[in-house]
Amino acid sequence: MYNIALLSISDIKTISIIKTYWSMLLLSLGQTMLLTLLSLVFAFIIGLIFGIMNVTKIKPLNFIATVYVDGVRGVPLIVLAYFTYFGIPMFIRSIGFENFRFTALTAGTIALSMNAGAYMAEIFRAGIQSVDKGQMEAARSLGLGYGKSMQKVVLPQAIRTMIPSIINQFIISLKDTSILSVIGFPELTKAGNIIVAINFDVFSVWGIIALMYMIVIVTLSRLAKKIERRVNVGNER
Amino acid sequence: MLETKGEIKILVKNLKKSFGKLEVLKDINTEIRTGEVVVLLGPSGSGKSTFLRCLNRLEDITSGDVYIDGVNVADKRTDLNAVRQNVGMVFQHFNLFPHMNVLANITLAPVELKKMTKEEAERKGMELLKRVGLEEKAGAYPPQLSGGQKQRVAIARALAMNPDIMLFDEPTSALDPEMVGEVLAVMKELANDGMTMVVVTHEIGFAREVASRVIFMDGGYIVEEGTPDEVILNPKETRTIDFLNKVL
C-alpha cells in the first residue's frame, strides 16, 4: 500500500482485468473448490480403508495397503493425471469400448483422490496408532467386535488428533488442482492460461490468480485453526 | 477353609504362551468354580497378567486350552465376542473412553450389542453408578475424575454387560495410595455378592481377606496354590517364601 504511485498503472490494468473476467475467475475458482472437495471426500474414504488395512494384524491387507501407498506416492500427480485422462480411456477403447473417454472432472477427481488418498492413508495410520492400545482392548473385552470398537472407540479419538493433518492435506490438494489444468480441467490456473493468451498481461493475471488462491487458503486455514481449538477444548474435558 | 464346590466356570489345561522366543506361560493347569475369588500373586514377569489376559484371549494362546463355561477360547472358531460378553475385565490403567461421559462409557456395550435398549441401559447404568458410589458423576468425562473414581466407573462399565466372571488386572497398581481402599471396597462387595473373580494384585491384605484361593506364580508356572492361610501364612515353596518376605 505504501508504493501506490508505483503500482497505479498496473492497478488500473488489474482492475480492468477483474472487471472483464470476474465471472470467469469466480466460476473457475468454484471448479477448483468442487474438484478439491470431491477429491477430498474420496480421499478420506480411500485413506480410511487403506489406513485400517495397514494397522490390522492381517499380513496380506498390510501388504496391499503398503503397495498402494508407496505406489501412488511414487508417481508425480501430473503423470497420474495424464495416465488417468489419456492412458486409461485409450486402454478401455482398445478392449472394445469405442468412444470411451473420461471428462476432465472425472479424470481429475480420480487422479487427485488417489494421490490424496495415499497421503490420507498415512494420516489415518498415524492417527489410529496414536490412540492407546488399551482403548481397543477395553472395547474388545466388553464383547464389541473389531469394527464396532474401531468405529465407536478408536476412530473418534484418532480423528481428533488427525484434524490438523487433514486440513493440511486439504490445502495441499487445493493447490494441486492447478496441476490438473494440463488435462484441460477449467479450474483457476486454466482460467489464468486462457486470459493470458488473450491479453498477454502475465504480471496482473498471475498476480490476481495467486492472490485468489492465497485468500481462499488463508481463510480455510484460519477456519481450521478455530475448529482445531474447539476440538481440543472438548478433549480436555 | 471350606468352599462350596460350584460348577466349573474356568478350566485351564496345559496353557502355554510365548511372545516370539520368550515363553511366558510354560504349563498352566487349574480350574475355577462359580463364586470363587482367585487371587494371582507373583513377582513381576511371572506371567500372571498374561495368564489373566489369556482367559478372555486378549492374548493369543500358543497352545493348550482355556474353557469358559465349557467353551474353548483357544479354539480359533470360537465366537470370542460372545464369550467376552460374559467375562468383564478391569485394567490397571482403567482404559475408560475419554470422548464419552461416564454414563455413555457404561451403556456403550449393552446398547451396541443390543442387549438392552438405550433407556434400559441408562437405568441399569445409573444403578451401577449408585452401587459404586458415583451417581453424581454420570455426566462427567473421564479426565475429570480421580484415579479411584475412574476405576470404579471401569468396574461399573464391565458389570453393565451382566458378566458372570470378572477379571481384574492389577486394578489398584496405578492408584494413589489413598484411593486404593475405595476400589478394593467395591471389589469386596462384588465378591460377597457371589461373583466369580480372578484378580491379579499386589494387595496381600485383600488376598487374605477376600480370596477363596491364592495362586502363586513364578517363571511361567503355578508354584503353589491353596487358601490364603495356606499360601500366605504357611507357604511351603521357597520361591513363595522369598516373594512374601519381600512384599510383607
Residue range B127-140: mean pLDDT, rounded: 95
Per CB-CB distance under 8 Å, the chain B contacts of A139 are 97, 108-109
User: Which residues does B122 contact at the CB level (< 8 Å), separation at least 6?
Assistant: B103, B107
Nearest CB neighbour to A157, from listed B82, B99, B154: B99
- Across the A/B interface, how many CB contacts are shorter than 8 Å? 69
Q: Is residue A5 part of a domain?
A: no
In a domain, A120, yes or no: yes
Put simply, whether B87 touches A (Cβ < 8 Å) is: yes
Instruction: Tell me the pairing of strands B71-72 and B63-68.
Output: antiparallel
pLDDT surpassing 80 at residue B132: yes
- How many Å apart are CA B82 and CA B98, to the nearest integer? 25
Q: Examine the pLDDT at B63 and tell me if it is beyond 80.
A: yes
Q: What is the ipTM of this complex?
A: 0.92
Please give the radius of gyration of chain B, using alpha carbons only, rounded to the nearest integer.
18
B4 has pLDDT over 80: no
**Neighbour tally for A90: CB within 10 Å:** 11
Measured CA to CA, the distance from residue B162 to residue B113 in angstroms comes to 13
Chain A residues near residue B81 by CB distance under 8 angstroms: 140, 143-145
- Does residue A128 contact residue A154 with C-beta atoms inside 8 Å? yes
Domain of A93, CATH number, reads: 1.10.3720.10
Contact B108 A142 (CB under 8 A): yes
| More confidently predicted of A2 and B33 | B33
Cα nearest neighbour of A133 on chain B: B95
Looking at residue A200, its pLDDT comes to 87
DSSP A126-164: HHHHTS-HHHHHHHHHTT--HHHHIIIIIHHHHHHHHHH
Question: Distance between CA atoms of A109 and A81, rounded to whole angstroms?
Answer: 9
Eight-class DSSP state of B73: T
pTM, to two decimals: 0.87
> CA-CA distance, B128 to B132, in Å (whole number)?
6
**What's the pLDDT tens digit per position in B218-242?**
999 999 999 999 999 999 999 999 9
The residue behind cell 498477454 is: A200
d(CA B56, CA B73): 7
Residues 6+ apart with CB under 8 A from B188: B206, B209, B210
Q: What is the pLDDT of residue B1?
A: 43
* Residue A14 in domain: no
pLDDT of B2 > 50? The answer is no
What does R_g of chain A's alpha carbons equal in angstroms? 22
Please check whether residue A11 lies inside any domain of the structure. Answer: no
Which of B73, B97, B155 to probe the A interface (max A CBs under 10 A)?
A: B97
Nearest CB to B93 within list A134, A152, A237: A134
Looking at chain A, which residue has its C-alpha nearest residue B144? A237
The verdict on residue A4 lying in a domain is no
Identify the pLDDT of residue A5. 52
- Among residues B90, B99, B157, the alpha carbon closest in space to that of A154 is found at B99
pLDDT in tens for each of the 237 residues of chain A? 555 555 565 667 778 888 888 899 999 999 999 999 999 999 999 999 999 999 999 999 999 999 999 999 999 999 999 999 999 999 999 998 888 999 999 999 999 999 999 999 999 999 999 999 999 999 999 999 999 999 999 999 999 889 889 999 999 999 999 999 999 999 999 999 999 999 888 998 999 999 999 999 999 889 888 887 877 655 544
Query: What is the spatial distance between Cα B71 and Cα B201, in angstroms, rounded to a whole number?
Result: 27
How many Å from the N-terminal Cα to the C-terminal Cα in chain B? Answer: 22
Residues in chain B with CB shorter than 8 Å from the CB of A135 are: 95, 97
Question: Is residue A86 situated within a structural domain?
Answer: yes
Terminus-to-terminus CA distance in chain A, angstroms?
Answer: 46
Rounded to whole angstroms, the Cα distance separating B213 from B230 reads 9
Does residue A12 sit within a domain? no
Q: Which residues of A touch B157 (CB under 8 A)?
A: 142
Element (H, E) at A61: helix A59-73
Please indicate whether, in this complex, the C-beta atoms of A157 and B96 are within 8 angstroms of each other.
no
For the record, the C-alpha cell of A47 comes out as 485413506
- pLDDT score recorded for residue A10: 61
Any CB–CB contact under 8 A between B113 and chain A? yes
Mutation target to probe the A interface, by most A beta carbons within 10 A, among B52, B54, B83, B99 is B99
Q: Given A141, A157, A234, which is nearest B58 (Cβ)?
A: A141
Residues of B in contact with A137 (CB under 8 A): 58, 91, 95
Instruction: In whole angstroms, give the CA distance from residue B9 to residue B32.
Output: 6
Task: Provide the 3-class DSSP secondary structure of residue B80.
Answer: helix
CB contact under 8 A, A142 and B158: yes
CA–CA separation, A141 and B91 (whole Å): 10
The pLDDT value recorded for residue A9 is 59
Q: Could you tell me which chain B residue has the CA closest to the CA of A141?
A: B84
**Residue numbers in B near A138 (CB within 8 A):** 89, 91, 95-97, 154
Number of structural domains chain A divides into: 1
Best mutation site among A130, A142, A163 for testing chain B: the one with the most B CBs within 10 Å? A142
Q: Write out chain A residues lying below 8 Å of B52, CB-based.
A: none
Q: Which residues constitute the domain of residue A94? A: 19-236
**What is the C-alpha to C-alpha distance for residues A66 and A118, in angstroms, rounded to an integer?**
9
Residue A2 lies in a domain: no
Quick check: B85 and A142 CB within 8 A?
A: yes
Cα distances from B80 to residues A225, B58, B198, B232, in angstroms, run: 43, 10, 19, 35
pLDDT digits (tens, 9 = 90+) for B179-230: 999 999 999 999 999 999 999 999 999 999 999 999 999 999 999 999 999 9
Whether the CB-CB separation of B74 and B61 falls below 8 Å is answered with yes
- Residue B91 has its nearest CB partner, among A138, A153, A234, at A138
pLDDT at A237: 41
A→B contacts (Cβ < 8 Å), by residue, are 132, 134-135, 137-145, 148, 152-153, 156-157, 160, 234-237
Helix axes A188-199, A202-236, angle to 10 degrees: 160
DSSP H/E element including B95: none
B112 touches chain A (CB under 8 A): yes
C-alpha span between B116 and B107 (Å, rounded): 9
Across the beta sheet with B22-33, the strand order is B22-33, B8-19, B63-68, B71-72
Closest by alpha carbon to B205, among B195, B194, B193, B214? B214
